[in-house]
A = this chain, B = another copy of it.
Amino acid sequence: MTAIETLEEKACFGGVNGFYTHESTACACTMRFAVFQPPQAQVGRVPVVYWLSGLTCTADNFTTKAGAQRVAAELGLMLVMPDTSPRGDDVPDEDGYDFGKGAGFYLDATEAPWSTHFKMRSYVTEELPALIDEHFPTKGAGHRSLFGHSMGGHGALVLGLSEPDKWRSLSAFSPVVAPTQVPWGQKALPKYLGDDPAAHAAHDATELVKKHQHPEPILIDQGLADGFLEEQLKPELFEAAAKEAGQPLELRLREGYDHSYYFIATFVEDHLRHHAARLG
């Protein structure tokens, strides 16, 4: 059995919210993650919704600020909240919040020096689900959904469209939908992946959706007072590509809301109900 270390476990809405570490093979470092086990997990196996956080975040932000445990406890959903990058003194980094630590972009880097540790795609799609299924009472493969925020919304869309059989449903808050067309992605993708345009396109939801669709409608919430909307997010690009490709999409534009956890907390219940309806 793969070892995990329990950092803390706390009672929360009748369930248990915990933080854990383990030695990640994919990322070649110690990784920290959070899990909320709903009360239903005390008496049986439950489906899991994986959350992918945005730039600068750790396993803490969504766990402490989104208020998601209340809804997950009602719906019988486990929540798993990984970190956003490899961590530790051995892991290379750069100045700036939008590349390196805290900015793993949920891809497997191919370029040195990043390729040794920055394997967040393998981590989120392979290693972490296997670890969770080993240590927690989950229903396992076929009973997982995926959502995220900003860079994590990018991760949810890219990973979910690439392997639709792995994730029962997808949703996102304020996602980076077209990284090849915006500064965050134009900085990160060449550094992590090199210069091959095909590699970039494979990590761009707006490009991917032209070739791979998900059978379930994708739910996206986007605040219209989001300071990143025009330069980095551009949901209209994904909306147009999804329409053209026949990908069902519910894009909800929310007047007055910004990029913060006040926005996420306001609408997280809708997202969890969206996933619960598909997870059965």
5 residue pairs, one from A and one from B, having the closest CB atoms: A67-B67, A12-B262, A11-B256, A10-B262, A11-B257
Shortest Cβ gap from A270 to chain B (Å)? 12
Most B CB within 10 A of own CB, among A12, A14, A65, A258: A12
Work out how many copies of this chain go into the complex.
Answer: 2
A contact set with B: CB distance below 8 Å: 10-14, 17, 64-65, 67, 69-70, 223, 225, 254, 256-258, 260-263, 265-266
Q: Does the CB pair B225–A265 fall under 8 Å?
A: no
Majority SS at the chain A contact face: mixed
- The reply to whether A262 and B67 contact each other, CB–CB distance below 8 Å, is no
CB distance from A265 to the nearest CB of B (A): 7
- Per the bound structure, the CA–CA distance linking A14 and B64 in Å amounts to 21
Give the shortest distance, in Å, between A65 (CB) and chain B (any CB): 5
29 contacting pairs across A/B (C-beta < 8 A): A10-B257, A10-B258, A10-B260, A10-B262, A10-B263, A11-B223, A11-B225, A11-B254, A11-B256, A11-B257, A11-B258, A11-B262, A11-B263, A11-B266, A12-B263, A12-B265, A12-B266, A13-B266, A14-B266, A64-B64, A64-B65, A64-B261, A65-B65, A67-B70, A67-B265, A69-B262, A69-B265, A70-B265, A70-B266
